[in-house]
Amino acid sequence: MSEHPMDRAAQYGVNLWDTYSTDDLRQLQEGVDHSLRVPWADPRLKRIIRLRLIGCSWEYPFWDVSYVYGELTDGRRCLVMLPDSRLPRNWRQTLVEWAQRDGVYAKGLGCFDPNVVSTLAG
């Protein structure tokens, strides 16, 4: 069995999962069907369960969207595709603007829930 990416990252001092225990997030990650990708405007999307943003604040004024996990109305977990993979530092405002344009209720999906959003800034 190969080494899990979270374990390998931890060897180098990288904390990939800052708000949950490693076991909880490993279970979350393994419960997502990575072959199932839906746009965030898909009516089957019930909620966002993890929004991971990575950035380097002193060099780059943007967040990279590492991944977005969601749950569909039928209970399956999937990858969620946002309109772009890069967000400016005022990412909340940008998500609201995208949501208005795309007919999505971002807050209702959980996009601003502190238990959903995870940021890693160097």
Write the pLDDT tens digit of every residue in 87-105.
Answer: 998 899 999 999 999 999 9
Per-residue pLDDT for 44 more than 90? yes
Whole-number Å distance between alpha carbons of 75 and 103: 22
Helical spans, DSSP H, in 1-122:
5-11, 22-30, 91-102, 106-109
Distance of CA 98 to the CA centre of its chain: 16
| Higher per-residue confidence, 1 vs 56 | 56
Q: Where are the domains of the chain?
A: 1-30, 34-121
Identify whether the C-beta of residue 77 lies closer than 8 Å to the C-beta of residue 71.
yes
**How high is the pLDDT of residue 17?**
46
Decide: residue 103, CB within 10 A, 0-12 exposed, 13-18 middle, 19+ buried: exposed
Q: Tell me the average pLDDT of the chain.
A: 84
- 45: β partners: 72
Q: Judging by DSSP bridges, how do beta strands 62-72 and 45-55 pair with one another?
A: antiparallel
**Structural tokens at position 16:** 């990939």
